[in-house]
Amino acid sequence: MADVGEVLMSALSTIRVPKPGDRVHKDECALSFSTPESEGGLYLCMNSFLGFGSQYVDRHHARSGQRAYLHITRIRKAKKEDDSNSGSGHPPKKKPTRLAIGIEGGFDVEQDQYEEDVKVVILPDRQEVTSEDLATMPDVVRERVSLSMAGIMAADSVSHALQVQQWDGEVRQESRHAADLKQLDNGLKIPPSGWRCEVCDLQENLWMNLTDGKVLCGRRYFDGSGGNNHALLHFQETGYPLAVKLGTITPDGADVYSYDEDDMVLDSKLPEHLSHFGIDMMTMEKTERTMTELEIAVNQRVGEWEVIQESGTTLRPLFGPGLTGMKNLGNSCYLNSVMQVLFTIPDFQNKYVSNIDKIINEAPSDPTQDFKTQVAKLGYGLLSGEYSKPTTDSGNENGASEPRGDQLGIAPQMFKALIGRGHPEFSTNRQQDAQEFLLHFINMVERNCRSGPNPSEAFRFLVEERIVCQQSQKAKYTQRVDYIVQLPVPMDQATNTDELQEAERRREEGDTSAPTVRAQIPFTACMAALSEPETLTDFWSSAVQAKTTATKTTRFASFSDYLVIQIKKFTFGLDWVPKKLDVSIDVPDTLDLSALRATGQQPGEELLPEVAPPPLMTPDVEVKAPVLDDSTVSQLCEMGFPLEACRKAVYYTGNTGIDAAMNWIMSHMDDPDFSAPLVLPGCSSGPGTTPTESLSEEHLATIVSMGFSRDQATKALRATSNVLDRAVDWIFSHLDDLESMDVSEGGRSAAESEGGRDPPPGPRVRDGEGKYELFAFISHMGTSTMCGHYVCHIKKDQQWVIFNDQKVCASEKPPKDLGYLYFYRRVAE
């Protein structure tokens, strides 16, 4: 084994000990979904701390020259039967008693235990270095290797840090009202039981206001249960902030809610506040479920098969290519559902999966941070079938095991970390809106496909908006790009109004047996609400030079290959509390939108003149330059448009908002002076751009450190009003312009010296017949987009398949009427 020692000695200089801040990828391959539990285990580079499966470690060695790897393998331990287990083969799980994750009493996230084997391997011959070998080596070798191994194994893996962290939903803050809470001396004494709402006589979900002692019912839940909002209405009328839930008071405390702070809170003076109304905490017993217990019950019900998950039916598990499940990383079902649908679309398959060998060969030294590599890795994982294998329970000590309906699947940890990096929502483990994530991902694809095929073009279409001034009857046409059709839900068009009203009446009368009735909304009513003319009451007409009434009609200027329809189920109640409309919509399997094709300017129709609104007057007598809405200009700049074009858009639309300005930009992108400086009234020349001397040297240095030239950094900062974050976004979305940028000796580019280069061409859209067929839909369960659960149904080979995280099964009754996002593809001619 002397050869091994010599080899290890020669590689010693490349072996590192992890330092704070080093990312240690010891749970997942950077290029595949291989893990230490996979066949062949995981090889961790002892220099870069990147992990590689057995099929990719030789490639990394050849490219990097690194020879020393830590080979980690894990085997799942057999589960021991609990003494109290009634022979089911599974130990009973403890019921959660705390709204928490990863702590005592909370939801358990570490259910599997493993036997782990770790050894050093030297490439290219994969020579193993045993502990006995290491003991015979020189001290300097033994110490360095031992320290590196110990540091790697002690370090938190990147994937572990991104998984569900220890979280306690019961940690509450002291209310700011508790210390000095005003309590009325009204002589009111509350009995220890027998409570009723003082308004509606409800006998459950009762809250006592700690200021005046009023006993009133709580909020109404999304399904009509709960209370009738009388405690909330009382706060809105009086401003008395704190209320305690009756039935939860024990010597240990109670549920206290602050309406002003809109959260469950602590009241350190609760015994004193309760005794004011004759309540002795030491003698009270709990009779109502606490809010925590209610939330735990809701979280447990999320995993049950109900309508959307096709409960009550034995579903047949499916395995194979394109039928791979995805692990839920803690509220990542929104991401799982969206990506399952996207990788059934040929554009995404061809871009990322068909070229995976080329993508991996061209991957940078750290592929975990490369968008194209991680998307390709995810796509191949979903489509290859390599990870679509049934999982089995590890069984008991006797080795018995039982197949389960879910799969090993893939855990999209690196993908989620990369796609959410820097985003205030998608970087967290909170539940998100699937529609917002879809648009976020499309935006990432757009940024990373500036050259070459762009799969997001499959969704891109043009919308034509026709505005007709009702006073002059002259029209204005604008076009904008969109990716999703948002359909409103006209609740007043429900076909079962009588049933809805009867159910509501019974609930108001306190009938607990009243059924939950779902509103039946025709799909044609939703389409009519989208296509009918909208009245604009504050439209500035260039024809009459004044504000007047106009009508706006929206039509399709092009039909994309794939059409996404969002049912706008999520809204706000009168109290501004988010809620979800419980509706059933008869969404069709086929769709013909040909009648909604835009026709453009009609024969004999006059257009509104392109005249700017009057300048905004100042108190001075003379006319000064109008004040532009800086926030609108900034929003447009953040989208990547030139600063001067944004200024002109805001000016020529009279500061009337982002929508009008965006429409102006989309209809003037081909103008030769699109990027030329705006000359305002009262100014002898345009304001130009931010002068170089006013740019922040710190901002310039930051962008230069990212690999761009000083001239390119200057251009980006000028285009974004010297705002660093916007400049970084701008520079990545204008790489083609920057690469061809010809910088003159004076510091400004030749294009700028000539008054601006020709603008880039408009967005590329595909067009064809407006006839579509449904092939997928994503459904949501829960009260709002911030909670609940997503699943998707996809039609594969004329069979509907349900993807519920790791569970992939043949669908028996796809609930097409309860979807949230619907995906259509153009019908082949």
DSSP 723-743: -HHHHHHHHHHTHHHHHT--B
The angle formed by the CA atoms of residues 255, 260 and 262, to the nearest 5 degrees, is 60
**Tell me, what amino acid is at 26?**
K
Instruction: Look at the block and give the residue holding tokens 């590890």.
Output: 394
Contacts of 180 (CB under 8 A, 6+ apart): none
- Per the structure block, which two tokens stand in for 740? 């061809």
670 is in an annotated binding site: no
Using CA atoms, how far apart are residues 781 and 311, in angstroms rounded to an integer? 13
3-state secondary structure (DSSP) of residue 578: strand
222 is in an annotated binding site: yes
Catalytic positions: 333, 789
52 is in an annotated binding site: no
Bridge partners (DSSP) of residue 68 are 122
506 is in an annotated binding site: no
3-state secondary structure 298-356: HHHHCCCCCCCCCCCCCCCECCCCCCCCECCCCCCHHHHHHHHHHCCCHHHHHHHHCCH
**Of 622, 625, 645, whose CA–CA distance to 633 is shortest?**
645
CA distances from 607 to 119, 595, 611, 642, 674 (A): 77, 23, 12, 27, 21
Peptide bond preceding 490: is omega within 30 degrees of 0, i.e. cis? no
Using CA atoms, how far apart are residues 373 and 385, in angstroms rounded to an integer? 19
507 is in an annotated binding site: no
219 is in an annotated binding site: yes
197 is in an annotated binding site: yes
β-strand 799-804 against 807-810: which pairing, if any?
Answer: antiparallel
The angle formed by the CA atoms of residues 824, 827 and 829, to the nearest 5 degrees, is 160
User: For residues 301 and 223, is the Cβ–Cβ distance under 8 A?
Assistant: no
**Tell me, what amino acid is at 30?**
A
Contacts of 639 (CB under 8 A, 6+ apart): none
Using CA atoms, how far apart are residues 391 and 806, in angstroms rounded to an integer? 10
449 is in an annotated binding site: no
Contacts of 129 (CB under 8 A, 6+ apart): 4, 8, 119, 120, 121, 122, 145
- Per the structure block, which two tokens stand in for 168? 């306690």
How many Cα atoms are found within 13 Å in the side-chain-facing hemisphere of 791? Answer: 27
- Per the structure block, which two tokens stand in for 456? 């997001």
CA atoms 31, 37, 38, 40: torsion sign: positive
200 is in an annotated binding site: yes
Using CA atoms, how far apart are residues 765 and 462, in angstroms rounded to an integer? 7
Residue 617 exposed, middle or buried by CB count within 10 Å (0-12, 13-18, 19+) = exposed
Using the 8-state DSSP alphabet, how is residue 630 labeled?
H
Using the 8-state DSSP alphabet, how is residue 407 labeled?
E
Bridge partners (DSSP) of residue 168 are 100
User: For residues 535 and 547, is the Cβ–Cβ distance under 8 A?
Assistant: no
Using CA atoms, how far apart are residues 787 and 23, in angstroms rounded to an integer? 31
Using CA atoms, how far apart are residues 240 and 177, in angstroms rounded to an integer? 10
**Of 298, 301, 279, whose CA–CA distance to 290 is shortest?**
298
646 is in an annotated binding site: no
CA atoms 489, 493, 494, 498: torsion sign: positive
How many Cα atoms are found within 13 Å in the side-chain-facing hemisphere of 364? Answer: 8
555 is in an annotated binding site: no
196 is in an annotated binding site: no
> Residues within the annotated binding site for substrate?
207, 219-222, 257, 259, 262
> Residues within the annotated binding site for Zn(2+)?
197, 200, 217, 230
> Residues within the annotated binding site?
197, 200, 207, 217, 219-222, 230, 257, 259, 262
